Amino acid sequence: MRFLVRRNICCRRRNREHLMSVDFKRGETLPIHINMTFPSLPCDVASVDAIDLSGKHEVDLDTNIWKLRLNSHGHIIGTEYLSDLVEKQHTTRNHDDKEHHDGSAKKPHKFSFDKDAENMINKVKKALENGEGCRVYGVLDVQRVAGNFHISVHALNIYVAQMIFGGATHVNVSHMIHDLSFGPKYPGLHNPLDDTVRILHDTSGTFKYYVKIVPTEYRYISKEVLPTNQFSVSEYFSPMNEFDRTWPAVYFLYDLSPITVTIKEERRSFLHFITRLSAVLGGTFALTGMLDRWMYRLIKALTTTSARGAFQ
């Protein structure tokens, strides 16, 4: 079932025609392009997680996500590969679980974990004192179902997070969204969250962006087809108080529309050009005719009045 929406967008004699149809795509992945800056959140505590509609919590170790350490002026001072960090965290957690069930090795591992945690706390506290921030960018490939991804400090042990920040109200998730998209860009596309800036002063809380994704195909005049997605968004901010048990984060909750939009480029025909030219010329002649009649009547009226005055 297809619906036709004609929307004439002139661009160098090109016309874009919008078609809508039911989306039958299944089993594909959804690319999420992220480019964000967190000026008050060090890279050591910023983590990216994705959860789909089924409740499956998944961190894709093969996903290309990078974190860039920034100084207080926003300049890059270091880079880390996020997947490596996540893999090390998973290795540490698995090792911790194994040793927890092994009584003979419990004490040595506990000392090692405490030492690592202490080093982590000191490192992050120093980064906070120096005003370090973090830039997160790359691509997440998630299942093509509704879900969410978020950037937060949730990867930290709650006690470690408490020792670093002294409470959830001291976690600042101010952020700048340089680019957020769900596929390649096509001519005329504007993503509504690009260049979004949300800075918090003397407060903390959780940002939630509710995103409605519309599957889109852009068909060039050359017959090349570009599969992508466009989206709309609404925003909600929930301030944090000292009694909250959650930690601040930036959530992107997305859902997919069941309708696919197809945009087709069409070159204007010569006949269409002649028709428009005729319309313009016809309008010009009609306008000049009207002006001529008005000027004739005005001059005639003035002449008549002058003649009557001279006769009297």
- Whether residues 181 and 306 fall in one domain: no
Same domain, 133 and 33: yes
Tell me what the mean pLDDT of segment 273-298 comes to. Answer: 84
pLDDT band at 297 (very low <50, low <70, confident <90, very high): confident
Q: Is residue 101 part of a domain?
A: no
Q: Using pLDDT thresholds of 50, 70 and 90, give the confidence band for residue 56.
A: low
Residue 301 within any structural domain of the chain: yes
Q: Which amino acid makes up residue 191? A: N
Half-sphere exposure of 159 (CA within 13 A, CB side): 4
Residue 281 in tokens = 């010329």
Residues 260 and 289 in one domain: no
Averaged pLDDT for residues 127-156: 90
Residue 102 placed within a domain: no
Whether residues 32 and 172 share a domain: the answer is yes
Q: What is residue 80's predicted lDDT score, i.e. its pLDDT?
A: 63
If you search the block for the tokens 């790359």, which residue do you land on?
138
Q: Inform me whether the pLDDT recorded for 2 exceeds 70.
A: no
Mean per-residue pLDDT for 277-288? 86
- The pLDDT of residue 126 is above 80: yes
Residues 255 and 275 both lie in one domain: no
β-strands 64-70, 225-239 pairing: unpaired
Q: In angstroms, rounded to a whole number, what is the distance separating the alpha carbons of residues 78 and 44?
A: 11
**Domain annotation covers residue 4:** no
Is the same domain home to 184 and 238?
A: yes
User: What is the rounded distance in angstroms from the CA atom of residue 240 to the CA atom of residue 77?
Assistant: 31
Same domain, 285 and 150: no
Instruction: Please indicate, yes or no, if residue 61 is contained in any of the structural domains.
Output: yes
Enter the tokens of residue 259.
């309708």
Which residue segment(s) compose the domain that 242 sits in?
15-82+114-266
Total domains in the fold of the chain: 2
Task: Provide the angle, in degrees to the nearest 10, between the axes of the packed helices 158-165 and 106-129.
Answer: 30
Give the lowest-confidence range in 52-61, 158-167, 169-178, 224-233.
52-61
Distance of CA 129 to the CA centre of its chain: 30
| CA R_g for the chain | 31
Whether 75 and 188 map to the same domain: the answer is yes
Residues 6+ apart with CB under 8 A from 45: 124, 153, 155, 156, 161, 164
94 or 306, which is more confident: 306
Residues 200, 288, single domain; the answer is: no
Mean pLDDT to the nearest integer, 221-241? 92
CA angle 15, 21, 26 (to 5 degrees): 125
Read off the pLDDT band of 61 (50, 70, 90).
Answer: very low
Q: Is a pLDDT exceeding 80 seen at residue 71?
A: yes
Q: What pLDDT, on the 0 to 100 scale, is given for residue 209?
A: 97
Residue 73 lies in a domain: yes
Residue 14 has pLDDT above 70, yes or no: no
Q: What is the mean pLDDT of residues 71-75?
A: 90
State whether 36 and 124 are in the same domain: yes
What is the model's pTM? 0.73
Between 116-130, 188-202, 265-279, the lowest mean confidence (pLDDT) is in 265-279
Residue 103 placed within a domain = no
Domain assignment of residue 109, yes or no:
no
Question: What pLDDT is recorded for position 17?
Answer: 83
CATH number of domain containing 158: 2.60.470
Comparing 220 with 82, which gets the higher pLDDT? Answer: 220
pLDDT at position 106, please?
39
**One domain for residues 158 and 300:** no
Determine the Cα–Cα distance for residues 218 and 225; give it in Å rounded to an integer.
6
pLDDT value, residue 99: 42
Is there a single domain that holds both residue 293 and residue 251?
A: no
Question: For position 312, what pLDDT does the model report?
Answer: 57
